[in-house]
Amino acid sequence: MQKNAALDALFPAHLASMAATAAQALDAAGADALVIGAGFQQYRFLDDQTHPFVANPHFRVWAPIDNAPGSFLVIRPGQKPQLLFHQPEDYWHKPPTMPTDAWLESFDVQVIREPAAARRFVPAGAVFVGEPFTGIEGWGFGAVNPAPLMDALHYARAAKTPYELNCLRQASAAGARAHRAAAKAFAAGASEYQIHLAYLAASGHTEAGLPYPNIIALNEGAAILHYTELQSDAPPERRSLLIDAGTQFRGYACDITRTHAAAPGPFAELIADFDALELKLCAMVRPGMHYPDIHLAAHRLLAELLVAQNIVTCSADAAVATDLTSIFFPHGIGHLLGLQVHDIGGHQTSAKGGTTPPPSAHRYLRLTRTLTAGMVVTIEPGLYFIDLLLARARGDGRGRDINWQRVGELAPYGGVRIEDDVVATDGEPENLTRAAFAALS
């Protein structure tokens, strides 16, 4: 656990906010107490090796513990939250270490040697939040993950407390530092795998500690949205690097993408123009903004860029009207960010539930809510040269408006994606990513 006195000073107010949200959620569910399970170590199928442990985000929003399988929280409105910390007596593996950070003072801590020992602390009729486990039926829970309670908790997670925003800033600082190291490795001629190692070393993370698998794509690989092949041999010719990689601090993630050109030229100029486009979209992250409108604005700006770059031969209006822009930009503009890279509740209509689907022509958009102060979102437009989608355009007639010679010149570079993490505030948007990179200069 990273120690940070300034951050710990923010934690009591954060906990009070979580307690107020929990009380409202319990009221919606008609319950008096909440038990949250951290989760359990999961074994691989037919194996004695386990998957990396990742705690339930509902647990981590209360207790920033990285290693807590088999632990539980007991929440009763008006009372000090109780942490049932699972610390088995074990000589095969190192048991989890009891945290010593200041935030622990906000909890009534009980050490349990086996998860079943938590049962005696469970209030009668309490509701449980987490992954159901073997034998849960006998614990006396009034409900497991009841929809009214989950809806209330999920909806509230979108707006971050000052403590959470500080954690996200710390993650962004580490992410910028690691991205800078990756760019340096690319410039030195490293392979994808070597760039990955440089990123890990600079971030201070192991692979298991990353918030999501690194996307590190050279050349044409950048046209694969979730490219995770990590070739160990460098290609004969280095043209481009697209790296989408994050870090995390106390469980809170950053999600940063940058695209680099190996040399000056048309692709480097495209990246510069695209960077300006992305910043215009970041400036739209404000309270009251309907997030799908940012996505639609991205398609409009992209259409103008495609025309300016002579990639399409029709007007920007026509490129949007015929959905030609989706050939080059087939994913959503971004998502909520927090304890999960794709934080939950993006399509939720209100704290009482309901779903607001994305526009029918843009089904991959992960966030359809109106922004409020404290929401943290990613802004990640892309422009790719994807063989499958380009072939689709040839087949449905949209290909007549594509400058195929220009596409042929740029396709060996794969594509461009630039992604920043941005906070909606009562004033100007706070771009966590740009601030983190600026701090390195």
Query: Rounded to two decimals, what is the model's pTM?
Result: 0.96
227 pLDDT higher than 50: yes
> Is residue 235 within 8 Å of residue 205, measured between CB atoms?
no
> Is residue 300 within 8 Å of residue 362, measured between CB atoms?
no
* Cβ-based neighbour number of residue 329 at 10 Å: 23
Determine which helix (DSSP H) or strand (DSSP E) holds 224, and give its type and residue range.
none
Encode 144-183 in three state secondary structure.
Answer: ECCHHHHHHHHHHCCECCHHHHHHHHHHHHHHHHHHHHHH
Domain over 5-156 is classified CATH 3.40.350.10: yes
**242 or 4: which leads in pLDDT:** 242
Superfamily of domain 162-440, CATH level 4: Creatinase/methionine aminopeptidase superfamily (3.90.230.10)
Instruction: Give mean pLDDT, residues 53-60.
Output: 95
- What residue spans define the domains of the chain? 5-156, 162-440
The pLDDT assigned to 3 comes to: 64
> Which among 386, 73, 8 has a CA at the least distance from the CA of 217?
386
Predicted confidence (pLDDT) per residue in 189-212, tens digit: 999 999 999 999 999 999 999 999
The pLDDT assigned to 5 comes to: 82
Place of tokens 């994305």: 358
Q: What is the dihedral of CA 332, 336, 340, 345, to 10 degrees?
A: -100
Write the CA distances from 260 to 224, 270, 406, 408, integer angstroms.
16, 10, 19, 19
Tokens of 7: 């951050």
Predicted confidence (pLDDT) per residue in 375-412, tens digit: 999 999 999 999 999 999 999 999 999 999 999 999 99
In percent, how much of the chain has pLDDT > 90? 93
> Which among 69, 129, 66, 62 has a CA at the least distance from the CA of 99?
66
2 pLDDT higher than 70: no
Instruction: Give mean pLDDT, residues 336-352.
Output: 96
Instruction: Give mean pLDDT, residues 330-359.
Output: 96
The pLDDT assigned to 391 comes to: 97
Instruction: Give mean pLDDT, residues 273-286.
Output: 98
State the Cα–Cα distance between residues 98 and 116, nearest whole angstrom: 19
CA atoms within 13 A on the CB side of 38: 26
Predicted confidence (pLDDT) per residue in 109-126, tens digit: 999 999 999 999 999 999
pLDDT averaged over the chain?
Answer: 96
Provide φ and ψ at 299, rounded to 5°: -65, -35
**387 or 3: which leads in pLDDT:** 387
> Which among 296, 288, 257, 306 has a CA at the least distance from the CA of 425?
288
Predicted confidence (pLDDT) per residue in 75-104, tens digit: 999 999 999 999 998 888 888 888 888 999
Query: In which band, very low, low, confident or very high, does the pLDDT at 1 lie, cut at 50, 70 and 90?
Result: very low
359 pLDDT higher than 70: yes
> Is residue 148 within 8 Å of residue 27, measured between CB atoms?
no
* Cβ-based neighbour number of residue 405 at 10 Å: 8
Instruction: Give mean pLDDT, residues 283-295.
Output: 98
The pLDDT assigned to 4 comes to: 77
Instruction: Give mean pLDDT, residues 32-37.
Output: 98
Instruction: Give mean pLDDT, residues 136-148.
Output: 96
